[in-house]
């Protein structure tokens, strides 16, 4: 099964996905790595030229420009879901595109408990682009199978585990 998790930056998707323990898909991006991120583990970091070349050759199942950077998911990495459950984090644009190609996927959208808490989380990590808060109001959540508010890491993790069948 393919589980796709979307959320605005700062909502905890990376931490929750890591705690789930499912096989994850490392996606591609043209943005610069954050100080704690490693190539091939958090993202495959590419130049715009490299990304565009791969996109033109049909390498990506989905590719989207978000906040001036490109993000994409390789077709090859998604073939893993034919053999095992996998989880992937993509933005809402990517989710809509993947849902068309993989209609049986399970879409999960994470929300922060409030705009203020999300703003504080983004500020703590040095992200000053508060236009990202617009993601919350602009996203059409009806396309997702589950919408969760990440107001407690443990509670949200347990709900994700229930959704992916790790716990009842």
Give the C-alpha separation, 119 to 106, whole Å.
Answer: 28
Domain ranges in the chain are 2-163
Q: Name the pTM for this structure.
A: 0.81
Tell me the β-bridge partners of 146.
Answer: 108
pLDDT in tens, the chain (168 residues): 899 999 877 788 888 999 998 888 999 999 999 888 999 999 999 999 999 999 999 999 999 998 899 999 999 988 866 788 899 998 888 899 999 989 999 999 998 887 777 777 667 766 655 555 555 555 567 789 999 999 999 999 999 999 999 875
Residues with Cβ < 8 Å from 126, sequence gap 6 or more? Answer: none
Exposure of 128 by Cβ count < 10 A (0-12 exposed, 13-18 middle, 19+ buried)? exposed
Query: Structurally, what CATH architecture does the domain formed by 2-163 represent?
Result: 3-Layer(aba) Sandwich (3.40)
Assess contact for 104 and 112: CB atoms under 8 A. Answer: no
């Amino acid at each position: 099964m393919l589980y796709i998790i979307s959320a605005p930056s700062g909502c905890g998707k990376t931490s929750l996905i890591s705690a789930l323990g499912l096989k994850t898909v490392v996606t591609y991006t043209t943005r610069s790595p954050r100080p704690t991120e490693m190539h091939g583990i958090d993202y495959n970091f590419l130049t715009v030229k490299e990304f565009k070349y791969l996109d033109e050759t049909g390498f990506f199942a989905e590719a989207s420009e978000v906040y001036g950077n490109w993000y994409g998911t390789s077709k090859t990495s998604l073939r893993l879901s034919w053999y095992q459950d996998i989880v992937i984090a993509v933005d809402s644009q990517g989710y809509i595109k993947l849902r068309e190609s993989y209609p049986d996927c399970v879409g999960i959208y994470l929300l922060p408990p409030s705009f203020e808490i999300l703003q504080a989380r983004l500020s703590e990590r040095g992200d000053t682009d508060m236009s990202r808060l617009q993601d919350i109001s602009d996203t059409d959540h009806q396309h997702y199978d589950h919408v969760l508010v990440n107001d407690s890491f443990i509670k949200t993790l347990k709900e994700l585990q229930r959704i992916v069948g790790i716990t009842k």
